[in-house]
Amino acid sequence: MAAVRLAFVAAFLGVGPATAAVTHPGNTSIMPECVPACSRLANIFGPQAYSRGDANVTLWDAKQQETHSACWIQPSSTEDVSTILGVIIDTSCRFAVKSGGHARNPDDSVSAGGVTIDMQRMRSVEVSPDQKTAKVGSGHILLSLYQGLEKYNLTTLGGRVADVGLGGYVLGGGFSHLSPKYGLAMDNVFEYEIVLPNATVAVVNPQTHPDLYFALRGGMNNFGIVTHLTMRTVRQGQMLGGVRTYTADRRDAIVEQAYALTTGWKNDTDMAFFYSYGYDQESDDFTMAVSQEYVRPVISPAPFAQLNQIPFEHSTLRLDRISQFSIETASATPPGGRNLFATVTYSPSAHLDRHIQDIMAQEIQSLRTARGFYPNLVIQPLYEAAIRAGKERGGNAAGINADGPLTGMYKTNVPCYLALLTVRWENTDDDNHMDAFAQKWVERATAVTKDAGKHHPWLYINYASTEQDPFLSYGEANRQRLRRIQSEVDPRGVFTSGGLCRGYFKLQ
């Protein structure tokens, strides 16, 4: 790092070869175009908002923690973001946008050798006079958003983990404890403030920019930098939350209960749950956990009555504020380690749950002793309300609406299951093995869901692996529409795979 810094400073002061990339074996090189970009940003913003080191940021994954940017910049307003993007385009410097930093690969939200735009100062909360919506900054983590709204006894469609960023979460979809009732977080965004790829500012709602409004619901970081969102707020006091852990011999009972909750209790939209099957290296055995959510202050609601009869190991079930539950969940998923996600979607089936869990168990055999190895398979329903809410908003890019790939599900009134494989490990040397394991799991899990006639093509972008193409899963009509919108909004391709912002999932 020292050598990189020194060379950078030399170029920065104009005493070195500003055109040669500064490379280091195994380390990111600073892009030559970014030397003048950083210099200009430093002049405009000063040390309060500009830094060359990796200043005061939380990044979840070690692969991103190890990624070095030419410089970091923390905007405080939409105008700042517009100025920054203007400089970046002018200099043709590569960049990445960071909200909560929970993406898992270099360049996703930390630019490798370019400029990282860190949104963490943009955490405003403005509740509307009727308290039905709030305009919030895209740099919130979910905890700061929850805390800002709880002052008013309000909440919104946030996720489960305190330090996940609103930005990535809501631009990809957003599964919330409130999703059974209101749908995904993205379908509860009524307006976006965005800095477009030409650095101008637009206010995007169904009236002003219907196409872009469609695209931003599932289109991720392919259309510009979102600075503020106007979201649905919901009156909320204490709710039931927490998690119970179980030994693996309870698996059959849990899997059956998950099915019963998903199909038999789907009309009780106060209820949400997810459950997991993970490998514990220490005991060399599998363990299970079920998270219960009920958005009323009821400690033992009817849907969970049977589940609560299954003997458990530990329990944190209680009535509390959602902010407090998000802190608990964050402590169970701390930053660090190398991580990957992969996903498969299918119609609810207890048999298939067991089958894809068994596939995971089989495929980890040769990896069991890898340092820090922790594979975990999380299963949760995609609720009908998500499909309905998407439709009410005129359809979203992710295709969760009557015209998208979930059509059949909607018509038969059956929700579907999302399986998320999360894998954590420590050593760089294991990276390729872990990728291969995840790919194998996806391949086999997809095959068994297809064989059972229950496969669903939709992939949640925030759970997909680098080998999966969520945009393909949105349905061909949606993908083509997205491509058309992108070519209109971003004719120079700033946010495309060949442009300046290349990380995460790119529309092909």
Nearer to ligand NAG, 221 or 357 (CB): 221
| Residue in 65, 67, 99, 188 binding ligand FAD, rule: CB under 6 A | 99
- Which one of ligand NAG, ligand FAD, none interacts with residue 27, CB within 5 to 8 A by kind? ligand NAG
Burial class (CB in 10 A: 0-12, 13-18, 19+), 300: exposed
The DSSP bridge pattern shows strands 234-235 and 154-155 to be antiparallel
Counts for the chain of helices (H) and strands (E), in that order: 16, 23
Nearer to ligand FAD, 41 or 340 (CB): 340
| Residue in 196, 387, 418, 420 binding ligand NAG, rule: CB under 6 A | 196
Nearer to ligand FAD, 257 or 462 (CB): 462
Number of residues counted as binding ligand FAD (CB under 6 A): 34
Q: Binders of ligand FAD among 259-288, rule CB under 6 A?
A: none
Distance between CA 361 and CA 445 in Å, rounded? 12
203: contact with ligand NAG by CB under 6 A: no
218: contact with ligand FAD by CB under 6 A: no
Q: How far is CA 411 from CA 58, 259, 408, 494, in A?
A: 43, 19, 5, 39
Please name the residues in contact with 28: beta carbons below 8 A apart, sequence gap of 6 or more.
Answer: 67, 68, 69, 106, 112, 113
Q: Binders of ligand NAG among 232-251, rule CB under 6 A?
A: 237
489: contact with ligand NAG by CB under 6 A: yes
Please name the residues in contact with 447: beta carbons below 8 A apart, sequence gap of 6 or more.
Answer: none
Other residues' Cβ atoms within 10 Å of the Cβ of residue 410: 20
Nearer to ligand FAD, 22 or 418 (CB): 418
Distance between CA 485 and CA 479 in Å, rounded? 10
Closest CA to 214 of 496, 491, 480, 472: 480
Nearer to ligand FAD, 101 or 250 (CB): 101
Q: How far is CA 399 from the centre of its chain?
A: 17
343 neighbors 463 (Cβ within 8 angstroms) = yes
103: contact with ligand FAD by CB under 6 A: yes
The DSSP bridge pattern shows strands 95-98 and 115-118 to be parallel
65: contact with ligand FAD by CB under 6 A: no
- Which one of ligand NAG, ligand FAD, none interacts with residue 468, CB within 5 to 8 A by kind? none
56: contact with ligand NAG by CB under 6 A: yes
387: contact with ligand NAG by CB under 6 A: no
60: contact with ligand FAD by CB under 6 A: yes
| Residue in 32, 148, 168, 470 binding ligand FAD, rule: CB under 6 A | 168
Other residues' Cβ atoms within 10 Å of the Cβ of residue 87: 22
**Considering Cα of 445, then 446, then 449, then 450, what sign does the dihedral take?**
negative
Please name the residues in contact with 320: beta carbons below 8 A apart, sequence gap of 6 or more.
Answer: 238, 239, 241, 242
Nearer to ligand FAD, 11 or 194 (CB): 194
Nearer to ligand NAG, 201 or 253 (CB): 201
Distance of closest approach, residue 336 Cβ to ligand NAG, in angstroms: 14
Residue entry with tokens 């080191």: 53
- Which one of ligand FAD, ligand NAG, none interacts with residue 153, CB within 5 to 8 A by kind? ligand NAG
| Residue in 131, 198, 407, 466 binding ligand NAG, rule: CB under 6 A | 198
Q: Binders of ligand NAG among 65-104, rule CB under 6 A?
A: 66
Q: First and final CA of the chain: distance in angstroms?
A: 35
Site pattern 470..499 for ligand FAD (x: CB under 6 A): ------------------------------
Nearer to ligand FAD, 144 or 462 (CB): 462
333: contact with ligand FAD by CB under 6 A: yes
- Which one of ligand FAD, ligand NAG, none interacts with residue 250, CB within 5 to 8 A by kind? none
| Residue in 48, 267, 366, 412 binding ligand NAG, rule: CB under 6 A | 267
97: contact with ligand FAD by CB under 6 A: yes
Distance between CA 346 and CA 457 in Å, rounded? 8
CA dihedral 167, 171, 174, 179 (to 10 degrees): 120
- Which one of ligand FAD, ligand NAG, none interacts with residue 357, CB within 5 to 8 A by kind? none
Q: Which stretch binds ligand NAG (CB under 6 A): 19-27, 172-180, 366-374, 456-464?
A: 19-27
7 neighbors 47 (Cβ within 8 angstroms) = no
Burial class (CB in 10 A: 0-12, 13-18, 19+), 19: exposed
DSSP 167-191: HHHHHH----TTHHHH--GGGGEEE
Q: Which positions lie near ligand FAD, rule CB under 6 A?
A: 60, 96-103, 108-109, 119, 138, 159-161, 164-165, 167-169, 171-175, 220-221, 225-226, 333, 462, 503-504
Q: Which positions lie near ligand NAG, rule CB under 6 A?
A: 1, 3-4, 24, 26-27, 56, 66, 120, 152-153, 196, 198, 200, 237, 267, 488-489
